[in-house]
Structure 1
Amino acid sequence: MNRERPRPTSDEHRLISLDSRDIDDLRRLLAKLHPSGRGDDVSDAGDHGPERNDLVDKARVELDNRRKRVAIFGSQMFAEPAWEMLLLLFLSEGRQRITQSRLGELSGASRSTGLRWIDYLSDHGLAERREHPTDKRQNFVSLTEKGRALLSVYLSETK
């Protein structure tokens, strides 16, 4: 039952989905290709200037390094779902909203562990829940000003 997919002909179009990293890479490429070198006509509603972009890049590197570490050594040595959740929330700001179930899933935590850590982050004023407008079973999770500020301090002071 292993059939090869038909290849599109030259006049066919194929849709692909891009994640936020692909879009960020595209923006950087367009900025380099723009005659001024600044990419003035490349806009981003979630862009908060070069400092925010540097912090987002650092958060992405931190998250990637954590995932490499887990892939090599295993998850038992480095189980820190709360930290992973903070980084994921920081990276998602201005791009997409994350439900608490998706946040737990992305952090690698079980459902109950994920909810417990979201409670912890919320109790400590680092994250907040907001009701989903159409699905009362779901809540969105986002960083609070305090959480954003503390992460910004951490990321700006790391290499």
Structure 2
Amino acid sequence: MSDRFDIGAEPVSEGIDDRLRRIRAELEAVETLVRSEAEARITPVEIGRVVRSAREGIGRFFDSSLFADPAFDMLLFVFLEEEEGRQVETSACYRASGVPRTTAVRWINMLLSMGMFENAPHPTDRRLTLLSLSEQARTGMRQWLGTMRPLIERMAAR
């Protein structure tokens, strides 16, 4: 063992910097993996189902007209139906909104004019119209429901 400085030796600080970079990269990889596993466990659709159940159940405790929000209920209903691979007839959307048909029609027309809903004729029954979310509305619902994931995870971790 020598106390002499070797000119060809790698400075200690560079070796530490390399190790720190590797550790940071490994931590980022683990963080990404944990985040993707959490996202896989609790999907926006599952969160949407919880929200919908909560909204439907509120009428058992309070006058449901106090909490009527047909636009939100329709958006959530159509989102969940489409995510399950089902087409949505306008009449189903009326029923899901929880408001009278004439009120539901006004809200659907407003959502269509705002570009949140798209409509198309039913393929086999010309009397019916199908509703779907626009790509913008679908993305918005996914993002909004996704923002609730950390809250749900914190509650589940308790």
TM over 0.5: same fold? yes
Report the AA paired with residue 87 of structure 1: L
Partner of 1:152: 142
Query: Do residues 126 (structure 1) and 97 (structure 2) align?
Result: no
RMSD: 1.7
Letter of the 1:88 counterpart: F
Deviations 1:119-142 (A, max 9, x none): 111111111111011222210111
Answer whether contact 1:55 1:155 (CA < 8 A) is retained.
Answer: yes
Flag the structure with larger Rg: 2
From 54, 58, 63, give the equivalent of 2:47: 58
Unaligned runs of 5+ in 1: 1-49
Q: How does 1:1-150 map to 2 (within 5 A)?
A: 54-93=43-82, 94-150=84-140
2:43 match: secondary structure: helix
Provide the identity percentage: 35
Q: How many residues align?
A: 110
TM-score, normalised via structure 2 length: 0.65
Q: 1:123 to 1:52 in 2, by over 3 A?
A: farther
Structure 2: unaligned runs, 5 residues or longer: 1-38, 152-158
Larger RCO (CA within 8 A; separation ≥ 6): 2
- The 8 Å contact of residues 85 and 107 in structure 1, kept in 2 or not, is answered as yes
Runs ≥4 in structure 1, deviation > 3 angstroms?
50-53
User: 1:101·1:114 contact (CA, 8 Å) conserved in 2?
Assistant: no
Quick one: distance in 1 between partners of 2:42 and 2:90? Answer: 25
- For 1:105 and 1:60, the matched residues in 2 are separated by 17
TM-score, normalization by structure 1: 0.64
Change over 3 Å in CA distance of 1:145–1:135 after alignment to 2: same
